[in-house]
């Protein structure tokens, strides 16, 4: 099987490594000729660092226009705001019943993709793997998490996961929601205070914001008819403790002067709150603060 992967981001690189270990061929789809040339100049391989282990993943890379065989298996591990354009950019190269796996953060884009590309075998995945890039084609694997995969359209059920190691779920929508709820409470606090996940309760001010964010999200869940088993605050505490030394993805984006996914995280809550007639002032404050926040690159 040949896997096409959009971009050479950290999570996509981890999956390229896994595909390679299973003997599958990997083709990266890069945005520009210059990126393809850079990749070739670096030896046409991705580098994965995990503690003292370094592995390399040989891959073929091209831009979309150079693809000349239909794409049968496509992984989209992009930022939430890039996912829709990513699919559109390769649509003319997709095989009629291509399997497309969308592995993005945030909430809302998945549903838009589901609506617009329902002719394909669309799957959505959510991962707790931790990884970051420390050079253009080099990824540091920080934590092995769990990846869950499933369909949003319940009529389109699947029997086996096309991603070896990813667990099938028939409730991927709930998994995606649960993750975004946690991200809403952790990520902006870490980005605003330049702190690791473990420090979100370190001051009264931070803790107060986390409490309010969680409260607003639970009120929204109530309005939306979403039932939860565990209080959101308890889940946030658990994840913050488990990932205490992590710098959240939003903090990394802010630190590196990159666009964050806040519109698809706290922004998704703000939009839904409006739709369902509930208040979400703290989520709105996080959205505005993060949008205005840029930290010098270091
Ligand atoms: O998903 C994460 C992120 O950083 O985006 C958490 C769970 C907060 C781990 O860092």
Q: Annotated catalytic, 133?
A: no
The answer, yes or no, to whether residue 296 has pLDDT greater than 60, is no
**Active-site choice (40, 179, 227, 274):** 179
Share of the chain above pLDDT 70, in %: 97
Residue of 179, 186, 266 best suited for mutating to test ligand 1, as the one with most atoms within 8 Å of CB: 186
Residues with CB under 6 A from ligand 1: 182-183, 186-187, 197, 239, 243, 246, 248-249
pLDDT computed for residue 297 by the predictor: 54
The Cα 216–Cα 210 span in angstroms is 10
The sheet with strand 138-143 has its strands ordered as 53-58, 45-50, 138-143, 130-135
Q: Which ligand 1 atom is at minimum distance from the Cα of 187?
A: 8
Average pLDDT value over all residues in the chain? 95
The answer, yes or no, to whether residue 199 has pLDDT greater than 70, is yes
Once rounded to an integer, what is the mean pLDDT over residues 59-65?
A: 97
pLDDT bracket for residue 157 (50, 70, 90): low
Residue of 191, 249, 252 best suited for mutating to test ligand 1, as the one with most atoms within 8 Å of CB: 249
- Calculate how far, in angstroms, residue 194's C-alpha sits from the geometric centre of ligand 1: 14
Q: Which of 67, 56, 58, 54 is nearest to 6 (CA)?
A: 67
The answer, yes or no, to whether residue 114 has pLDDT greater than 80, is yes
The answer, yes or no, to whether residue 95 has pLDDT greater than 70, is yes
The Cα 94–Cα 111 span in angstroms is 20
Of 297 and 14, the structure prediction assigns the larger pLDDT to 14
pLDDT computed for residue 159 by the predictor: 82
Q: Which ligand 1 atom is at minimum distance from the Cα of 190?
A: 8
Question: Which segment of 79-93, 122-136, 151-165 scores lowest on mean pLDDT?
Answer: 151-165
Q: Which of 199, 296, 182, 189 is nearest to 241 (CA)?
A: 199
């Amino acid at each position: 099987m040949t896997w096409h992967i959009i971009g050479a981001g950290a999570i996509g690189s981890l999956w390229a490594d896994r595909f390679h270990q299973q003997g599958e061929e990997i083709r990266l789809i890069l945005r520009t000729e210059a990126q393809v040339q850079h990749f070739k100049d670096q030896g046409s391989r991705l580098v994965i660092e995990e503690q003292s282990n370094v592995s390399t993943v040989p891959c073929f890379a091209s831009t979309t226009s150079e693809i000349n065989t239909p794409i049968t298996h496509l992984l989209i591990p992009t930022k939430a705001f890039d996912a829709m354009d990513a699919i559109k950019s390769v649509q003319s190269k997709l095989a009629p019943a291509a399997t497309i796996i969308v592995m993005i953060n945030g909430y809302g884009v998945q549903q838009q993709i589901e609506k617009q590309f329902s002719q394909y075998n669309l799957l959505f995945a959510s991962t707790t793997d931790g990884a970051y890039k420390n050079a253009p084609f080099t990824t540091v694997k920080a934590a092995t998490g769990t990846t869950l995969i499933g369909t949003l359209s319940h009529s389109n059920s699947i029997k086996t996961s096309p991603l070896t190691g990813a667990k099938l779920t028939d409730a991927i929508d709930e998994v995606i929601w649960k993750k975004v709820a946690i991200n809403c409470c952790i990520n902006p606090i870490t980005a605003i205070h330049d702190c690791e996940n473990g420090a979100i309760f370190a001051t009264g001010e931070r803790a107060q914001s986390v409490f309010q964010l969680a409260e607003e999200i639970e009120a929204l869940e109530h309005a939306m008819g979403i039932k939860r088993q565990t209080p959101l605050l308890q889940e946030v505490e658990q994840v913050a403790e488990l990932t205490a030394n992590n710098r959240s993805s939003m903090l990394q984006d802010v630190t590196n002067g990159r666009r964050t996914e806040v519109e698809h995280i706290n922004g998704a809550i703000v939009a839904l709150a409006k739709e369902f007639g509930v208040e979400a002032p703290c989520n709105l404050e996080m959205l505005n603060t993060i949008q205005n926040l840029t930290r010098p690159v270091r």
